[in-house]
Structure 1
Amino acid sequence: MDTALSRSQLVGWRTAVFTIFFVTGLGFASWASRLPAVKRDLGINDLQIGILLFLSGAAAIVGLSLANVLVVRWGARRGMVATIITFSIGVVVIGLGVSFLESYAVTAVGLALMGMGMSATDVMMNVEAAAVEQAFGKTLMPLFHAFFSIGTVAGAGFGVLMAAWSIPVAWHLWVVGLLVLGAGLLALRAVPARETMHDDPATPASRRERFAETLAVWRDPRTYAIGAIMLGMAFAEGSANDWLTIAMVDGHGQTEAVGAIALTVFSVSMTVFRILGGPIVDRIGRVWTLRVLSVAAGVGLILFILAPNMPVAFVGIALWGAGASLGFPLGMSAAADDPAKAAASVSAAATIGYLAFLCGPPVLGWISHEIGILPTLWIIVGLIALSGLASGAAKPIAGSKVGVGHAHH
């Protein structure tokens, strides 16, 4: 049985999960911020960089599948110990491959370990975050995702400094790898072992039952409806991260510096709304929040595509960022409404969302090669509309204390 936790244990648990979100964002952005140096040190071209990114994405999809197995076998808490170690080793191996061995193959192995460790950690930290949210009885998931965003900003900022000071990639990534490992493992000590998280040792018979539960969520129509919400918003977020700077330069004829400012505006808008998101959801409810934000994202993106001048484009970018901010976290939150199925449901929802994150940008790149970047973005407008129409699926199930809104109290 899960025992009731004291207030200080609850706060410690919440802080621990905030920390894990922050360090995964930090680790990921640290690598991404040094891509130009990686390209230079390994003497490779854009296609070879693309292959490295694809390998990392493919390994991330393997990690998503493994997360389920780890939760069933060891529980979320012990599973995260394994995946944070894998993630940190990956970051360290990338540094070794780039700066010391100057080996494309070793760098690729590091990226595969990082991708696999990160995505598996991601599923389990979302499972834990959903459990914290239910324990507190209020919407916290957007704030957890804000900590990931803050981690990526910190990682990118630190990367800018390291590049400016010409610090070798290895020394930079080794420091980050050790930081992720130390902070991650220290945080996990404050995560309570809970039966609903499968942290209790499982017998082979109960493991079989857990696997059956894990597969059963894929037969639940609600899983796919929540997946549709997350799919549209993952595309809206992922396309901005990968294509917004290019859309500014190639589509609107701006300089690379203006492109970088555009991405910053998008990221800041998104992070601010993730910080504010919880109280908004607790006031108007999860479904209405998603509906309003899908309209904001759609209108923002249309303004950006059709912008006659830069001020209008930037208003569009801010709306696009705000609108895309909560689809992913609230989808995770909705998937976790039933504590008995939370681990399996969050894992399934995360898998759908991540496939959009990983497969979306390359598909958009291929289409934009044929028709241009701004016309390609109309596809995202369509997917945002789909996400808005599916919002009703995020309605909290009977008995859930999270995401109902004051109107229903």
Structure 2
Amino acid sequence: MEQVVEKERKKSILQEITSKTDQIDQKVKYRIFLSVFFFLSGFNFASWASRIPTIKAALNLNEAELGSVLLTMPISSMIGLPISGWLVSRFDTRIPLTLAFFLNALSLSLIGLAQSTLSLVIALFLFSLSTRIFNISMNTQAITLQKQFDRKINGSFHGLWSTGGIVGVAVTTLIISQGISIVPHLVTVSVVTIVITLLSYQQLLRNDRSTGKDKKSMAKPDAYILYLGLLVFFAAICEGGMFDWSGIYFQKVVKEEVFTIGYLIFMTFMAFSRFVSDRIIDKIGMAPTYIMSAMCIFTGINLAIFFPTFWPALIGFSFVGFGTAAVIPMTYTLAGGSEKYSAGVAISLVASFGIVGMLLGPPLIGYLAHAFNLKMSFITFAFSGLMLIPISRLFFRLTKQN
């Protein structure tokens, strides 16, 4: 009798171990395939952005006309706010994610094929709208999946987005050096996007739609969302401004011939920071990480402003990339804990503040540079970095987290 009991006990333990192993394998699989989409998102964005000079020349646009065309993207993204929020609360997020990646692939080809300003505006509208939808879907998947792990993993997803961006710039640079035109370039990226989406979407997380948290009004976000939105707003001013002006700073202020190194070093350290930020947060907590991020941005910008030579500016931009990187993924993680909204809708609301920051940052630097000079205009980034400290303190005081 005792032998039978012991045999059953061992069988039960074996079944439990097998079940846990299957669960671990499943969540790792979800993480791998979601990572593919984050990387592809960064790659696609960089593929388009690095072709802007080509498009400008092909359509004979001046700076003002190009600026007006590019304004299509934040407008489209804001229109996509209620659409993306509704989709992630209505369906499993893998559905809008998949459809948005198909639309993104189509719009990339349309950008390459655009023969007029109107056709380019339409293509960019679709590109930005689809980007908005799959960004919210991916981040909702990431926040939901993170709950199955014993540690933070959201930062690594955003690190893969940055890595995809770096690879996209590198591939585009190689393609341009070989004299390949924009049409075969972007059409090829579109085809690759469709193939990867078809092969990968079934391996994404399922059954993650809203359970009814979003019945309260979205017209007036509560203090929880407001503070998180402001954190993303100031981080986005830094990110958007550095994306557009870091290369010009190295060209005009540092007087460096290979001016793209400013953008490259910022992106590289941003990617590196996002891969290690999860471990940093696990060790010191979110509240100290916001303060550390703020001080990195402030220190790095001041180093580049007061010592505008190659190495100090390079080190300074490294600090800025490292400091800026953790803020948005960390804030999205906190948004997923909202008691008023589901994770998808909360992230969509917080992301709208980021869109405004991305919209205001680059032109604000341009206006200040025109009124004063480019070096002094970068003080905007130092101020935005410092603002992370009081806002994060207000947030954690509200929620009594650390």
Tell me the TM-score normalized by structure 2. Answer: 0.88
Q: Is the 8 A contact 1:92 1:174 kept in 2?
A: yes
Q: Is the 8 A contact 1:334 1:396 kept in 2?
A: no
Q: Equivalent residue of 1:135, what SS?
A: coil
Count matched residues. 381
Other-structure match for 2:317: 317
Query: Structure 1 residue 268 and structure 2 residue 280: aligned?
Result: no
Q: Equivalent residue of 1:6, what SS?
A: helix
Other-structure match for 1:148: 161
Other-structure match for 1:215: 218
Q: CA deviation at 1:41?
A: 2.3
Change (3 A) 1:219 1:129: same
Change (3 A) 1:397 1:36: same
Q: Is the 8 A contact 2:369 2:376 kept in 1?
A: yes
Change (3 A) 1:361 1:351: same
Q: CA deviation at 1:231?
A: 1.7
Change (3 A) 1:129 1:165: same
Other-structure match for 1:180: 193
Q: Is the 8 A contact 2:141 2:205 kept in 1?
A: no
CA distance in 1, matches of 2:280, 2:196: 31
CA distance in 2, matches of 1:21, 1:283: 25
Change (3 A) 1:362 1:309: closer
Deviates more, 1:362-371 or 1:271-280: 362-371
CA shift digits 1:295-345 (9 cap, x unpaired): 111111111111153322222111111111111111111111258621221
Q: CA deviation at 1:71?
A: 1.5
CA shift digits 1:34-62 (9 cap, x unpaired): 12221222232222222221112221222
Other-structure match for 1:21: 38
CA distance in 2, matches of 1:131, 1:185: 22
* AA partner of residue 197 (structure 1): R
Other-structure match for 1:39: 56
Q: Is the 8 A contact 1:39 1:49 kept in 2?
A: yes
Other-structure match for 1:197: 209
When Rg is computed on C-alpha atoms for both structures, the one with the higher figure is: 2
- Structure 1 vs Structure 2 CA RMSD: 2.4
* AA partner of residue 293 (structure 2): L
Q: Equivalent residue of 2:151, what SS?
A: coil
| Structure 1: gaps spanning 5 or more residues | 199-205, 405-409
Q: CA deviation at 1:386?
A: 1.0
Other-structure match for 1:237: 239
| Structure 2: gaps spanning 5 or more residues | 1-19
Question: Aligned match of 2:116 in 103, 107, 126?
Answer: 103
Tell me the TM-score normalized by structure 1. Answer: 0.87
Other-structure match for 1:59: 76
Q: Is the 8 A contact 1:68 1:214 kept in 2?
A: no
CA distance in 1, matches of 2:177, 2:64: 25
Change (3 A) 1:108 1:191: same
Change (3 A) 1:185 1:290: farther
CA shift digits 1:165-190 (9 cap, x unpaired): 11121110011012122223432211
Other-structure match for 1:203: none
Change (3 A) 1:7 1:369: same
CA distance in 2, matches of 1:72, 1:83: 16
Change (3 A) 1:308 1:343: closer
Percent identity over paired residues: 23
Deviates more, 1:185-194 or 1:311-320: 185-194
Change (3 A) 1:17 1:138: same
CA distance in 1, matches of 2:327, 2:200: 27
Deviates more, 1:127-136 or 1:61-70: 61-70
Other-structure match for 1:133: 146
CA distance in 2, matches of 1:283, 1:393: 22
Other-structure match for 1:202: none
